[in-house]
Structure 1
Amino acid sequence: MTYVIHGATGAQGAPVVAALVAAGKSVTALTRNPDTVVEGARVMAAGYGSVEALTEAYRSADGVFVHLPVVSEADRLAYARNIVTAVAAARPGRVVFSTSGAPIDPAVGGAAAVLADGLADSGVSYAVIEPTLYLENLLMPYVIDTVRVRGALPYPIRSDFPVSWASHLDIADVALALFDRPDITGAVSVGQYPALTGADLAGAFGAHFGKDVVFEPITPEQMRVSVAPVIGEGAAADVAGLYEAMSTLSDRSIAPENSAQKLLGITPRAIGQWLTDIGL
């Protein structure tokens, strides 16, 4: 059985590749550079911008793991449509799509919603992984360095804003399970439940590092300025806009009725376990 993984050398795709390889699966790693070496996997160069390349990559695959990159929303929309067209043409055995926290409500719109709707209409077996916020966001230098230097955890959410955090490792666990569960379709929520407040998050970091850590809410604009040098001005502005919109919500908690805990029996890692697993 062959599985095709988008962004196979990136933060989201690499853990999925590792999980599949560890399970003895045949893996095709999609990258931009055909000379890239991915341990245990065949490498294929295929970009989101080419329907033809995507169709070739997906054809005869038992499963495809896809997520949209952090680029401008205009590019994400084009990529989403290309993926849907390629899936419809190649008809892989199953597609697992991680929203990366982007909304899939058609009323809200956006690239993730276009991709989720397209998969639902494709006639191909699919599932949508819905995380809320990634723990890996907390590894950005402006966050983790501040934790280490002055015992504060800065993040652009309110102190009383509960979040069902999940890690890329958790997403890989769920993706691997969903490839083997074609009976599960539609959205699967992934994240800690009950959700954690900023104080809970800071407390978990403090317990792991053996020091007092306090939560420090910052504005989306402050976050934009901090991440722009890392992900680019356009992507940083888009991300800041998402956090600005999030500030109007009461929480980012998963719905337990369609959670990975209930549907798959998979519980996301606690903060301390995640920090240990990534070697911090």
Structure 2
Amino acid sequence: MNKTQKRILVYCATGLQGQAVASRLLLKEDFSIRLLVRNPEKAEALQRAGAEIFCGDLGEASSLVSANDGVDRVFLQLPLDFTPAVVDYAINAIDAAKEAGVSLLVLNTSVIVPSEKTGVKAIDLKYDIEHYLKRSSLPYIILRPTFYMENLAAPWSVPSIQEKSTVAYPIPADFPASWIGVEDLASYVVEALKKTELAGSEFNIGGPEVLTGKDIAERFSQALRREIDYYPIPLDTFEEQINAGIGEPIGTEIAALYGWFVSQPQSPVALSLNAVLEKLPVQLTPMSEWINQQDCFK
């Protein structure tokens, strides 16, 4: 690392979102990247690309103190966990960053978090994490994304599109959302990590289009050049599918999350991004373009 580079610590770097962020950061000559991983074998490609690998565990505070040594900025993302342990993980990471004197921590909540608790674990746990971060006196930027386009390319989504020509998702056909691609999330994160002057900011982030289920079906029809329909999966059916595929209670908690979103008087994930893009100027990917980039639909 040369003297002008800033060392960035990236958490959960072997997951889909973390990998996208790490890969984007590796293209920036002014950043040196350290990845906190539990299994270094999963990070071999990123290591070959120039990332420093640090073996640690979010549940072991001492390992995080060591991981933050010499770090200037932090990207914090947390594992898919709907128990209070995920709050403890975040506290360990925030405390370690504060002890190291980092100049900025960028938190990806992976979900829109409202100003009050909702009774939904997927939201309220992140609310508690945000509250702790804001009280920590650590310089921070919070990014709250909407729905990931990658959910439509997940193993439980692709067969319906391929075999039944139907996009099936657990929201009503007329529910609007600013869907975001993981690569666009990475663009937001990298831009935020560059902007220490924005410390104390919170941004709800999404993609360039507000789309309903019917709009999504149209985008798939155009991209795949065949008629694609949209089917709103009942929440109880979706819950059973996800629990069967990933394990309880993940499906139960994600179903509760979608149930909260669609029950609101106005969609919390239908965003106007003009003010956000003025401060975090990134190029966003329309859904049609994203579909054409996915090998699973070819």
2:103 maps to 1:88: no
Shift of residue 255, structure 1, vs aligned partner: 4.3
Could you tell me which residue of structure 2 aligns to residue 201 of structure 1? 216
Cα distance, 1:145–1:11 mapped onto 2, change above 3 Å? same
**Aligned match for 2:273, one of 236, 256, 261:** 256
Q: What amino acid is the match of 2:19?
A: A
**Aligned match for 2:246, one of 207, 215, 231:** 231
Cα distance, 1:82–1:106 mapped onto 2, change above 3 Å? farther
Q: What amino acid is the match of 2:23?
A: A
Q: How many residues align?
A: 279
Shift of residue 167, structure 1, vs aligned partner: 1.3
Q: What amino acid is the match of 2:193?
A: F
Could you tell me which residue of structure 2 aligns to residue 14 of structure 1? 19
Q: What amino acid is the match of 2:162?
A: R
Any gaps of 5 or more consecutive residues in structure 2?
1-5
What is the DSSP-based 3-state SS (H/G/I as helix, E as strand, rest coil) of the residue aligned with 2:39? coil
Q: What amino acid is the match of 1:253?
A: A
What is the DSSP-based 3-state SS (H/G/I as helix, E as strand, rest coil) of the residue aligned with 1:183? helix
**Aligned match for 2:171, one of 150, 157, 176:** 157
**Aligned match for 1:54, one of 64, 71, 87:** 64
Alignment check: 8 A CA contact 2:184 2:207 kept: no
- The 1-side partners of 2:24 and 2:274 are apart by 26
- The 1-side partners of 2:112 and 2:101 are apart by 25
- The 2-side partners of 1:278 and 1:40 are apart by 26
2:271 maps to 1:271: no
Any gaps of 5 or more consecutive residues in structure 1?
none
Alignment check: 8 A CA contact 1:5 1:64 kept: yes
Alignment check: 8 A CA contact 1:87 1:122 kept: no
Could you tell me which residue of structure 2 aligns to residue 99 of structure 1? 109
Alignment check: 8 A CA contact 1:103 1:113 kept: yes
Give TM-score, length-normalised by structure 1: 0.92
Alignment check: 8 A CA contact 1:67 1:97 kept: yes
Shift of residue 12, structure 1, vs aligned partner: 0.7
Shift of residue 83, structure 1, vs aligned partner: 2.3
Could you tell me which residue of structure 2 aligns to residue 125 of structure 1? 139
Could you tell me which residue of structure 2 aligns to residue 23 of structure 1? 28
Percent identical among aligned pairs is: 24
Alignment check: 8 A CA contact 1:189 1:255 kept: no
Of the structure 1 ranges 139-148 and 204-213, higher mean CA displacement relative to structure 2 is found in: 139-148
